[in-house]
Structures are given as structure tokens and as C-alpha cells.
Amino acid sequence: MKRNIRTAVVTAGALIAALGLPTGAAQADTPAQRTDLRVLVVTDGGPTTAAIAAELDSAGTPYTEVDLTRAGRPQIDTAFLADTVDGRPRARYQAVVLPNDNPFPAGSAEMAALTAYERTYGIPQVDAYTYSRPQVGLQYFASGGYAGSLDGVRAGVTPAGLGGPFGYLDGAVPFEDNAPAIGESYAYLAQPAPGADFTTYVDAPIPGTPRRGSLVGEYRHDGRRELVVTFVYNRYQQQFRLLARGIVEWMTGGVHLGAARNYFAVHVDDVFAADDRWDSVLNCTPGDVDCANGAGTPNPIRMTGQDAAYAADWQSARGLTLDMVYNGAGSLDQREDNNGADGLADVLLAQRDRFRWVNHTYTHAYLGCEQDVSAVPWKCATTPAGATKWVSRTAIGDEIALNRVWGHSAGLPLHDDELVTGEHSGTKLLPQQPQDNPNLGPALADNGVKWLASDNSRDPEQRLVGPAATVARYPINVFYNAGRAVEQTDEYNWIYTRRSQGGSGICEDHADTTTCLPAPLDTATGYAAHIVPQEVRTTLGHVLSNDPKPHFIHQSNLAEERIAYPVLNGVLDGYGALFADNTPVENPRMKDIGVELQRRAAWKDAVRAGRVTAYRIGDTATVEAPNGLATPATLPAGTRQGAAAFGTPYAGRVSGWTAAAGTPIALTLPTSAAAATAGTGDRSGVAATAPGTLPAPRTHVPDGVRERSSTAPRG
């Protein structure tokens, strides 16, 4: 069967002048080269090439990986790298990433082939991690340079870097120091070698000297360009996350498939309702299912009108819109108990248009199986025959519809196709409920729900529940049952300390997902000194990872001592100190995040299945993909789609999704961008010899720290 293919075209002129070809008739007989929009990643199993591959994968940039440690891998030779298509010379990769400047044995034919390829076709090479010496354009690190830890060091982007591939940063590149007893960031620092054509993009102070040494720089030699990186990293470390975009921009010249942005959306659950409070004596939450047999007296936490006004003013000052995930019955209960008064609702509804609103069901009822709370932990109730008792389709539908009606009656600007169920209930929850409530999907269909929130800590991948696609949310580890710092810290100690230290031992029982504290935190200082920095670091890591998934807190965290704000401010302040104004944090609503996740999944499936072909001839790039598939691209500012500008500005480029309905899409690059990225190959066909260099020494890098989430993540 003939496959339905559409073609997207990014136009521009020939590369002949940039390639140094002769003029006149000879030039007319020489077709401009075709360069496929795909990256070659050669790995030795180390963390640095894995980090770059993860960055490409996250953005949706096609790449081919060759693992040097695997038997039967393809040999990198001329045929692997280049050929001729339709009479035109083709470079099959727009960039090459190596684990270091030469990962092959001395005299390797593969390195010789790569060298010749890069020179002939003007293909840049990234040395993911190597050490400083003249072979990479730097002085020996032993001659006035440095080799050792950079933990806690404040590196910086040079003027050349800010004017080049790292112009989206504000200048500072702080290196993490999360575990003082563990070396996390080994590096070599040195200045350019005498006579070398080397431009430093990122540097750091050389200890004991007034000089600075290169960490990332461009070395031009023998008709080739290398990006020389002299520090080790993994995909989770902040210093890599800050520089990853620039590494990709450098290797692709800012013209590549895929797109990446920094996202931060915050959902505030249980708005209008009240949340039960942690009891530091009983070590449970009276009124909730973790207190056996109804022990304790509930002492709920609920925002006031002053808290609502503070939230509105805070988000305006910070340029971030909060998503208020509301339960309408909470206001009804408040008015019934207070002679019709509800100061919180009065303020929020008067300022309703300053927030976004999401349906959280009317009463926050549990919508999965019927819960048997006679013991802790609770279990699903069963029939005499042993079948699970499920909350009915009608009951689920009523919770959705009543809250929607209440919201519209209150004038909330709702999107009726979004839903967050109470505690993400209805969807599977291990160990008690290993499957979705079979009545949930039909109830969602009855109410037109297309986007359903899930908890990323237990259900991270987007999937369908009936007609609705899930949107996983990150739980910020500020607990729903805490309105004061001392309560948060006490519960944190209970969860994350050993039984021998007075804790629950949960961290011991679940060592695969949690890490025990070495000692209980001081309840007077532990929140500000430990919990806030931990949550800021984790949350900012998500923001810097091209991850659009929203985070969620609870209305209780905006009440009383308003303990969520130190975390939110820490994320935004940290971000603002790192990024230039041209790279703002994106703040999408839930349904837009769902669409983004769907597009990414469809695009990655098509790329992995080999159903996408993309290449560039001069300033013309062509993308062939299944008809209707949304295609992500990042291109230079000034690129046009017909008479209109392509994409939207971000980080000094323009990026966006584009799709065609059977007709070509023409995207025209600005002339200056075409010249800058056209390549510098000499086309001489002269064989090159591999440089006599040694690979960088292997250095241990700690694995990424596993994230922790509350054992009581209630939504």
C-alpha cells in the first residue's frame, strides 16, 4: 500500500561558496551537498555521551547511536558516514558526538574516516569529555592549569559564549555540591595552547591563580571544528542541564528537528476545601485514613481571604499563574457552618480571572474502589464472593458534573475537558488497587473529560483512561496535611528516619524509592535548612529538563505560615539568576501540557520507526513524515513560513510544531544564518590521518539521585 507522506521544506540557496568550490562552469556542474538532520552519537558507555543522547531524545532530535562496547556494532567507515543520493553528495549526519577527541586505538581507520568526513563535509564534532592538552587546543593541565573537583565552584559563560551558543544564559554556571563527602564534578582547567585557534565559551577560575581555564571551548584546526568539554557530568547534574541546550545549538548550528523549553506550572489542589492536619503525637492525620479506627480529633487547615489575596498578588509579582484545583462543596460547607460567610470564596471569586481553574470533583470523594478503613493501610472492600466493590459510574459522574455546575455558576473560567480527581483516585494505586476503576472511563466520557491528572510518582507515562489522556503531575514534597513548618518537619522526620531514631522506618522498608536521613531534622530549623533547598533543587531540575509536566501542592500550603512560597520562590529566583530574559519559564495550563505530551510521543514513535526523513541542502531543509504528524523544529530567528514568521522566539531561536495536510511547508532561513551554518568542508577527498591522541581517563560519576515523594501524596 502506498504510504501517505507529506513533505516539509525549509528553503535557501547553495553551499558552493561556503564549501570553497571553484566558480564558473565547474561550479555549475557540482551539486550542493545534502546533510541529513541527524546526529551521530558514538558512546563508550560513559555518562557524558549518555547525557547528550538524553538531551537529544528529550527534544526529539533524531540521532544514531554506535556503542563501542557492543560486539557486532557497525563499523564507522566512509560508506557509513556519506554516500550519494540523486547524484548529490550526502553527509548522513549533521554532527558527531564522541566520548572524547579520539576513543579509538592508535592508527584507527574509524577515526581516520571520521576526520576525513568532518573535514570534507564541514561536520562539527563534540568531544563529550576529554582532558586539556595541545591535541585539543589547550595547554597541558599540569602546566599552570588544574585537575580536580569543581564541586561548588561558580563557573561562567565568557563573552564569546554569550554571543554564541550559550546566549540564553545569564552568565553564571554553578557546579553542584550536593554531597560534600562525594566528588561529583571532576574537571581539567587550562588556557588555550600558544598558537591554537581556540575560543573559550565556558570557564572557571584556576585555583591559586588569577587566571581562568576553559571548560567548554571550540578548537578549529585542519579544516575541522571541535567542541572540547573538559569536565565530567551526567544527565541529571545542574551544570550539564544549563549547558545542554548550547551544546546542541553549537553542533547543529541552530538548525535541527526537535525543540526544548523550560516549563513550570503549579497546581494548588483542594481549593475551597479544608485539609486534615498532621498530629505529631499520634504520627498520623486525624480525619484521614492513616489514623486507625478514627483516632484523634481533626484540626483542619483552610485558606483565608487574606491568603487568597496574597496568592493573587504573589503570582502577579512573580509572573506565574497558579492553577486553582477546586472542590465546590468546600465553600458550601463553610457557608453552612458560618452563617453564610466564606471570606476565602469571596476573595477568590472576586479575582477569579487572575487564576486558572481546574475541576477537582465536588466533594473530593475517593473514586476508586470502596475503601475499607478498618485497618492501616486501608484495603479495597469486597463482596462476599471476593469481587472488588467499585465506586459507581453514576457517583463518579455526579462528582464531576456537580463541581462543574458549581464552577460555572460562580463564573469560573473553566475548561470542562480537564479533571483532577481527589487523590488521583479512580486510577490504579498500588498495592491496594492494581487497576483503574472500570467505571471511571465511562464516567469521563459521559462528562466530556479529555485530560485527566495522574501522580507522576506512581503513573508517569501518558496513557488513556477511557477517552481521557493522563497528564502526570510531580508532587512537591510539601505535605497536604501541613500548614506550618514544624508540622511539615515532624512528618518528614517520621517518614525519612529509621525506627531506631524514632521514625516510621518507611525509608528502611522502601530503600529503593526513599533515602533515610542520617539524623532527624531540627523541627525549628529543618524546614528552611534542609527541606526547602531539597525541594527547590528537585523541582528546578524538572524545570531545566524540557519537562512540561505540572507540579502540585495543596491549598493548606498557602495557608497559615504559607510554607509553599519558600519553595516556589526558590525555584523562580534560582531560575532567574541563571537564564537571560530571552529564555523565560513557560507556564502552560493542563490541557496544553497534555497536547504537548501527545505530540512528543507521536513524533518519537515516528522517528524510532524510521518514518521520518530530514535533510538540508544549503538553506533548504526537507522533512518527509506521515501526513498530519506534528513536527518540532528549532531554527534561527527570522525564519519564515511563506509570508509569516515561523515558530515563536525562545532562547535566541524560534521553535514550534508544524504539520501539513498533504502540501509542502516552506520555511526560509535568514541569509546570515544560512551562511553561518552552511559548513566548511573542503570537498578535496584527501584522506585524513587520525590524530595521535589518547582518550580521557575514565572518571566515576555518581548516578542521578533518585527523587523522593511523600508516602501520602494526596491530590
Residue 659, burial from CB neighbour count under 10 angstroms (0-12, 13-18, 19+): middle
C-alpha–C-alpha distance, residues 474 and 460, integer Å? 9
The residue to which cell 487564576 is assigned = 355
Task: Look up residue 543 and give its three cell numbers.
Answer: 524545570
Cβ count near 194 (within 10 Å) = 7
| Lowest-pLDDT choice from 11-20, 262-271, 593-602 | 11-20
For residue 617, what pLDDT band results from cuts at 50, 70 and 90?
Answer: confident
Residue 165 reports pLDDT greater than 50:
yes
Task: Look up residue 304 and give its three cell numbers.
Answer: 483565608
661-712: per-residue pLDDT in tens? 666 677 788 876 655 554 444 443 333 333 334 444 443 333 333 333 333 4
| Lowest-pLDDT choice from 107-121, 132-146, 552-566, 696-710 | 696-710
CATH fold group of domain 267-493+547-590? TIM Barrel (3.20.20)
The structure's pTM equals 0.90
186-197: per-residue pLDDT in tens? 999 999 999 999
4-31: per-residue pLDDT in tens? 334 444 433 333 333 333 333 334 456 8
Share of the chain above pLDDT 90, in %: 81
59-95: per-residue pLDDT in tens? 999 999 999 999 999 999 999 999 999 999 999 999 9
- Would you say 229 and 129 are in contact if contact means Cβ atoms under 8 Å apart? yes
Q: What is the CATH number of domain 5-261?
A: 3.40.50.880
C-alpha–C-alpha distance, residues 136 and 157, integer Å? 20
* 560: phi then psi, degrees, rounded to nearest 5: 50, -105
Query: Strands (DSSP E) along 456-585, which ranges?
Result: 464-465, 468-475, 551-554
The average pLDDT across 313-322 equals: 98
**Domain boundaries for CATH 3.40.50.880 within the chain:** 5-261
The whole-number pLDDT of residue 128 equals: 98
218-239: per-residue pLDDT in tens? 999 999 999 999 999 999 999 9
Residue type, 88: R
For residue 714, what pLDDT band results from cuts at 50, 70 and 90?
Answer: low
The whole-number pLDDT of residue 667 equals: 76
C-alpha–C-alpha distance, residues 221 and 228, integer Å? 12
382-395: per-residue pLDDT in tens? 999 999 999 999 99
| Lowest-pLDDT choice from 192-196, 253-257, 413-417, 619-623 | 619-623
The average pLDDT across 304-317 equals: 98
**Domain boundaries for CATH 3.20.20.370 within the chain:** 267-493+547-590
